[in-house]
Amino acid sequence: MMFDDLYKIDWAHICQAHGDSHEVPTAIEGLISPDPEVQESSYWRLDNHIVLQADLHEAAFYVVPFLAEILKAGLRPGRKYVYRLLIEIANGSAPDDRTCHYDGTEMPLTQACRASIGESVNLYLDELSTRDRDLRIEVLDLLASLQVHRDRILSHLTAMKARGEFDQIDNELGEAISMMKDG
């Protein structure tokens, strides 16, 4: 069942920009609502709390696996908001003394968030085959943020461009390739 572990986390003891994170689970669930207004409201309840003006807060790290779960489930509602949140988190930062435990190791929050997002890089690359142009652009933006996977992503994007796939996003694809090469 989706979000099995969502309420196993003690959100009241996890920090976000405006205090504790007790409202985070309902915001995550709202991302997949069939109601577009609920999706957007849920996005803003996360974006302005777990990452605020590129400042990462502890809750961001705990949200990433649930965002990946939404993508892996193939759910269409709220997908663009999930990618936007992942982009914000991937591009956010926190002081190095703000740490969390990732894969059994204590590490800086920024590094842990990026590592957690990077676990699903193959999913993001597969998502480029979607017919939804706007969603593909969101995916490209996220991929351009994942410098640790730069070589694999760049190889995949370059191959797509060489095959002439998705000519309608050729400019965006070219920009993503340039960003990865310059990164």
**Same domain for 127 and 95:** no
Report whether pLDDT(15) > 60.
yes
Is pLDDT at 61 greater than 90 in this prediction? yes
Residues 134 and 164 in one domain: yes
H or E element that contains 74: none
Cα–Cα distances in Å, from 143 out to 13, 167, 173? 31, 18, 11
- Taking alpha carbons only, the member of 75, 10, 3, 86 closest to residue 47 is 86
Per the structure block, which two tokens stand in for 85?
A: 């949140």
Predicted confidence at residue 163, as pLDDT, reads 79
Same domain assignment for residues 111 and 161: no
pLDDT digit string (tens) for 84-101? 999 999 999 999 999 999
The pLDDT of 64-69, averaged and rounded, is 96
* Claim to verify: residue 3 and residue 90 sit in the same structural domain: yes
Q: How far apart are CA 58 and CA 30, in angstroms?
A: 20
Residue pair 141/90 in contact by the 8 Å Cβ criterion: no
Regarding whether 132 and 104 lie in a shared domain, the answer is no
Mean pLDDT over 29-51 rounds to 96
DSSP code, position 93: B
Whether 57 shows a pLDDT value over 70: the answer reads yes
Instruction: Tell me: do 75 and 137 sit in the same domain.
Output: no
Q: Which long-range contacts (CB under 8 A, 24 or more apart) does 9-12 make?
A: 9/62, 11/59, 11/62
**Gyration radius of the chain's alpha carbons:** 16
Q: Would you say residue 168 has pLDDT above 60?
A: no
Structure tokens of 106? 């204590």
Q: pLDDT for 105-121, tens place per residue?
A: 999 999 999 999 999 99
Only one residue has tokens 């669930």, namely 29
Check whether 170 has a pLDDT greater than 80. Answer: no
Question: Is the pTM of the predicted complex or chain greater than 0.75?
Answer: yes
Rounded distance between C-alpha atoms, residue 30 and residue 155, angstroms = 35
Domain of residue 54 covers 1-119
Q: Is the pLDDT of residue 131 over 90?
A: no
CA atoms within 13 A on the CB side of 104: 0
How many domains does the chain divide into? 2
